[in-house]
Amino acid sequence: MFNRTQLYLLVFALIAVAHFPRVTMGQAADGSASSSAADKRDGQKDFDFEIGTWKTHVKRLVSPLSGKNDWVEYNGTTVVRKVWSGKANLVELVMDGPAGHFEGLSLRLYNPSTRQWSLNFSNIKSGVLSLPTIGEFRNGRGEFYNQETLNGRSIFVRFIVIPESNDVCRFEQSFSDDGGKTWELNWIATDTRIKDAVETTSNTPSTSVKLSAKERDGQHAFDWEFGDWDLHIKRLKGPLTGSTTWVELKGKVSQRRIWNGKANLAEVTAEGATGNLEFLALRLYNPKTNQWALYFASSSDGTLSVPMFGEFKDGLGEFYDQEPYNERAILVRFTFPPSSSDAGRSEQAFSSDGGKTWETNWINSYTRRVENR
Q: Is residue 112 part of a domain?
A: yes
Which range of residues forms the domain containing residue 64? 48-193
In which band, very low, low, confident or very high, does the pLDDT at 270 lie, cut at 50, 70 and 90? very high
Pairwise CA distance, residues 275 & 18, whole Å:
13
Q: What percent of the chain has pLDDT over 90?
A: 76
Report if residue 38 sits inside a domain: no
Task: Read off the pLDDT band of 373 (50, 70, 90).
Answer: low
Whether 314 and 232 map to the same domain: the answer is: yes
Domain boundary among 130, 160, 193: 193
Residues 171 and 219 in one domain: no
Q: Are residues 307 and 187 in the same domain?
A: no
Q: Indicate whether 79 belongs to any domain.
A: yes
What pLDDT, on the 0 to 100 scale, is given for residue 41?
80
In this prediction, residue 336 carries a pLDDT of 96
Mean residue pLDDT of the chain comes to 87
User: How far apart are the C-alpha atoms of 234 and 113, rounded to whole Å?
Assistant: 29
| pLDDT at position 222 over 50 | yes
Of the residues 159, 193, 227, which one is the last residue of a structural domain? 193
Residue 300: is its pLDDT beyond 60? yes
Q: Is residue 129 part of a domain?
A: yes
Work out the average pLDDT over 8-25.
Answer: 32
User: What pLDDT shows up at residue 9?
Assistant: 40
Q: Pick from 193, 221, 256: which residue ends a domain?
A: 193
Please tell me the predicted confidence (pLDDT) of residue 264: 96
CATH number at residue 154: 2.40.128.20
Which phi and psi (to 5°) does residue 351 adopt?
-135, 130
Using the predicted structure, report yes or no on whether residue 144 has a pLDDT greater than 80: yes
Structural domain includes residue 40: no
Q: What are phi and psi of 9, to 5 degrees?
A: -90, -20
Tell me whether residue 98 is in a domain: yes
pLDDT for 8 beyond 50:
no
Decide if 27 is inside a domain: no
Q: How confident is the model at residue 368 (pLDDT cuts 50, 70, 90)?
A: very high
What integer is the mean pLDDT of 241-270?
95
pLDDT at 26 over 70: no
DSSP 50-81: G-EEEEEEEEEESSTTSS---EEEEEEEEEEE
306, 157: one domain:
no
Asked if residue 258 and residue 144 are part of one domain, the reply reads no
pLDDT digits (tens, 9 = 90+) for 65-92: 999 999 999 999 999 999 998 889 999 9
Confidence of residue 23 (pLDDT cuts 50, 70, 90): very low
- Tabulate helix, strand, coil % of the chain (nearest 5): 10, 55, 35
Residues 180, 62 within the same domain: yes
Half-sphere exposure of 232 (CA within 13 A, CB side): 9
> Does residue 159 form part of some domain?
yes
Sequence-ordered list of residues with C-beta below 8 angstroms from that of 351, at least 6 positions apart, any chain? 330, 331, 332, 333, 357, 358, 359
Residues 362 and 311 in one domain: yes
DSSP conformational letter for 124: T
On the 0-12 / 13-18 / 19+ scale of CB atoms within 10 A, 181 is exposed
The per-residue pLDDT for range 163-176, each reduced to its tens digit, is: 999 999 999 999 99
Q: For residues 234 and 337, state if they share a domain.
A: yes
Q: Are residues 167 and 225 in the same domain?
A: no
In terms of domains, do 208 and 187 share one? no
Same domain, 354 and 232: yes
Question: Looking at the structure, do residues 11 and 105 belong to the same domain, yes or no?
Answer: no
What is the tally of structural domains in the chain?
2
CA distance 220 to 260: 9
Gap between the Cα atoms of 371 and 373, Å rounded: 6
